[in-house]
A and B are shown apart, each in its own frame.
Chain A
Amino acid sequence: MERDLLRQALGFHGPALLSLLRTEQHDNPDFRGLLPPGGPGLETLPPARKDRGIDNVEIQNFIAKKADLLFSHSWKTNVPTITEADEENEDYYAIMPPLEQFMDVPSAERRELFFRDIERGDIVIGRISSIREFGFFMVLFCLRSGVIREIADLEITALCPLRDVPSHSSHGDPLSYYQTGDLIQAAIKDIDRYHEKLTVSLHSSALSPSLASTKLGVISSEDLPLHYRRSVEISSGLETYEKVLQHSLGFANPAVVEFLVGKLGLSESSPPSLMRRLQSQNFHEEDFATALRKKQSASWALKCVKIGVDYFKEGRHVDAMNEYNKALEIDAQNVEALVARGALYATKGSLNKAIDDFEIALENCPTHRNARKYLCQTLVERGGQLEEEEKLLNAESYYKKALNIDETFQEAEDALLKLRKQMQKSLEMREKQAAKEERQKEKKIETSVEKLRKLLKEEKRLKKKRKRSTSSSSSSCDSSSDESTSSSSSSSSDHKKRKKRDRSRSESSRSSKHTPKSSLNQSRKDDCYSPPANTSASFLNQKHEMEKLLERQDRLAYQKPEARDRYYSLPRTSLYEEDHGGRSEDSRDSYSSAKTQANSNKTEKQGKVDRIFFDRRESTGPCRRKSDDKNKTQYSGKLEKDGGRKEQHRKYSPSQTKYSTSPTGSDYSTKSVEHYKRYTSRWINESSRYSADNRPELAQSKREREPRSRERDPAQTQEVDEEAALNGKEQSGSGARKNLPQNLLNIFNQIAEFEREKGSKQKNQ
């Protein structure tokens, strides 16, 4: 308890209060401590000054009961020493004239109180009454800081000595600057309370520190304080305090309470009360609205995370993501939600986002084990990605980061060691590669020369065969037409017709050549490009057909030239693989996108094929008799369409480097690479077998038939079925990938591995 305060109260209320206090507060050790065992204590009290009112007993009772709160130290500290530094602003609160003006306090009391309360450093405003050689006298009429009093009629004079007048110029008397009647703002320097004499100064050093910026010296009448002007305004009339207050602008300010509460040092966050149960310092922090809301939000967010995790387990990743985002909206710092979302990002392949989430989670909760674990794993995975992208330094930093978070994380350590070895190797590798490229260039030139030679040989052979093939081919056609799913029966005449047409529209350079040559062209073309070329889908189809045909050829044992034809195309395909294999390794994301593209391409293709099939059916309907011819013309028309493009490819084919950069090359989706892979490997095996066989006669007819049947295939239902089957396989594949990303990753890795081997094998050949 505040001893002084209690004394003050006791001095006011007299011994009656003390006895009440004794009974009410006897349990309070604080109060008993104040009662001295003897000597000058609370006992030595002057008699009560207050004449007893009816309510006085009640009030004393009240004081006695609430003494522990009223005189508590905590209340005392609530009152700060208020400085008057802030400029009065009429807008914030009502600035009232001094209270005594309304109370009509006699001037003698006011004068006495003024000299009692005035203090050094207070700012006074007065008018110069006389100037002497030792200074000037001023009559004070208002106060700016400290106490605000009505003193205008009190005729209080103050002396400003010469040494306290700052000189305004280097020479001359500083007092010459001032005139009688000037308004002067000055700081109180010295007070003689007994003789009621004041000394003021114009040096700002005389001011109290909080008011140091106030300008001292001559002021104009506009600079007079607001309360003084107010008091002058009302002094003439009979305005009451209430009216002035009500009419004041600041009183209507909606924030006036807030402003004045701050000015008077009252606390709104822990408001005072004389009720024991309302002592705000006794309230529990966790009972406050913000704490409760936080707790509630956290549990709500956790609920959302749980729902999200359930979705995630069901494979509904979008729903799960929505739930996680909702959880984070509710509670932005929710660690569980951040970890869960990070995990989802990681599974979706957005490793950087995942890392961000994990890092925020760890910031908020550095001890979260899952966050730490996942972050390490993700960092290592991301590092692995970067490694594949050949950004070895970045990868290294990711591994290091993972190790910083968890020093015992073995994966990261292994990866880091491996990476360092790789980095050492990479320099050597680079050199080797450069050398290899050189070698490869030479090799390529060689191979193209060889190829040309082979082509020429082939031509010659074909020329010979053509002469005697007419009869045999027609017979063989009859026998093989049953096997072929195509409804057409080819005849040599048809074939010739088509060839002729083909030739006639072919470029001038080609037309000058022999028929067999052109037929070779045709067959080769057909072999490599199914009618709607340039799409991955068509490639896939072709390969499937090829597979079938190859099987058939296994049964019929006269495939040598065919096989050889294929064999020619081998180096090219293997080259694609290298090309695409490399790309697919770049990043899994790009791979999957390419894959989906391939999917869409294929479905589109299927539709197209269907349509073509239909169109043809309708058009062939009326003239069924000549359906074969019709079909052929249709095909030739199609070939015509694609012809230009094919010619281009043909041109490219000799130079493989060129080919790989051609637009079609990029059209082959990485998906098709897989298929390619399988077939090429087959061809290699088979071609070696074929080369052992030697059945040139039958091969001729076969070769003639072969392209046509395959060509027509897309128009047939079988083709469509195959398409559908492929699509199905595709879809199931992608579904499996979603569910089992790890499995697929393994598969991809295997593929990549296989391709790499393949590539090197090809090169060595």
Chain B
Amino acid sequence: MEPTVLQEGSQIPPDAKTHFKVCRFIMEAGVKLGLRSIPIATACTIYHRFFMEMPLESYDPYLVALAALYLAGKVEEQHLRTRDIINVSHRYMHPRSDPLELDTHFWELRDSIVQCELLMLRVLCFRVSFQHPHKYLLHYLLSLKHWMNRHSWDRTPVAVAAWALLRDSYHRPLCLQHAPQHIAVSVLYLALQCYGVEVPADTEAERPWWQVFSEDLSKSIIDRIVLDLIQIYTLDTEIS
């Protein structure tokens, strides 16, 4: 996926807040469904891809989110049962309510999820497998870990912060706008910055560490992605 032309940080599309909320729902439901990071990321990506093709007005975003979760479970080989998806989302929409009875209403909900899944597949032309930054990030972390002093590494939760940043990044369609390596490097960069961790001998080296991980990456790209990431958190405070 080639990075598309970046929007400036200040410009937030009008539907962004809705999508943000729905993505928040996907992530929360994903955790409650016991989904791993990759399927959740795929679900969010499917959701973003769908609404890149389709206008928000025509579809119920939450139904699309449910179908995206269901489809992502299939794509990433962590199959979910629609019953669980419906239960968790019903509880999300109606906190502290009892789970739905398994009546016709329930089966209608289930059918609509399955139908929506088929629709999404057609809209996405069956391209539902994505390259996620996760495994890049993990390998970068591993390489960096060996280069860093082990005590400072153990003391600093860089890996956790980077992982959290990466997961949170799926609130916005960053993954569709940037190469996975770039996102991985950027979240790592931001995590290191947060803790004030410097990569040893970075200044003396021929190439900075982030250039090693991705040849076509530039400092400006990292800066932009970092700004995008920070903007997600700004949006979060705005909404909640």
User: What residues make up the interface of A, taking CB atoms closer than 8 Å to B?
Assistant: 4-5, 8-13, 49, 53-55, 58-59, 61-63, 65-66, 70, 75-76, 78-79, 81, 93-94, 96, 98-100, 102-106, 109-110, 113, 116-117, 119, 146-149, 240-242, 245, 251, 254, 256-258, 260-261, 263-266, 268-278, 280, 283, 287-290, 292-293, 295-296, 299-300, 303
Contact = CB atoms under 8 A, between A and B. Distances in A.
A263 B136 CA distance: 15
Interface stretch (B34-42, B54-62, B116-124): B34-42
B240 interface: yes
Interface stretch (B10-18, B44-52, B107-115, B193-201): B193-201
A295 B194 CA distance: 43
Contacts of B141: 260, 264
B157 A240 contact: no
B139 A251 contact: yes
B36 to A, nearest CB: 5
A435 B142 CA distance: 94
Interface string B132-160: 00111011011111110110001111011
Given A81-B154, A266-B159, A99 B147 contact: yes
A287 B84 contact: no
B36 A274 contact: no
B226 A58 contact: yes
B204 interface: yes
Interface string B174-212: 000000010000000010011111101110111111001
Contact of B156 (A8, A58, A61, A278): A8
Interface centre among B27, B135, B141 (most CB of A within 10 A): B135
A292 B92 CA distance: 11
Given A257-B36, A264-B159, A277-B28, 12 more contacts: A11-B196, A49-B198, A53-B223, A58-B227, A78-B160, A94-B139, A98-B146, A109-B201, A264-B142, A272-B167, A278-B168, A300-B102
B83 interface: yes
A99 B223 contact: no
A101 to B, nearest CB: 9
Given A5-B195, A70-B194, A257 B167 contact: no
Contacts of A58: 226-227, 230
Contacts of A61: 230
A536 to B, nearest CB: 52
Given A59-B194, A261-B37, A295-B98, A256 B215 contact: no
B144 A99 contact: yes
B195 A79 contact: no
B135 A257 contact: yes
A104 B202 CA distance: 10
Contacts of A59: 190, 193-194, 226, 230
Contacts of B238: none
B34 A289 contact: yes
Contacts of B233: 62, 65-66, 274-275
B31 A271 contact: yes
Nearest to A243: B215
A264 B188 CA distance: 14
Given A260-B138, A292-B87, A278 B197 contact: no
A61 B196 CA distance: 14
A117 to B, nearest CB: 5
20 contacts: A12-B195, A49-B198, A58-B226, A79-B157, A103-B208, A103-B212, A104-B207, A109-B200, A117-B149, A146-B150, A266-B159, A276-B236, A276-B240, A280-B31, A288-B33, A289-B85, A292-B84, A293-B84, A293-B87, A296-B99
B6 interface: no
B139 A62 contact: no
Contact of B201 (A103, A260, A273, A283): A103
Given A58-B230, A59-B193, A103 B157 contact: no
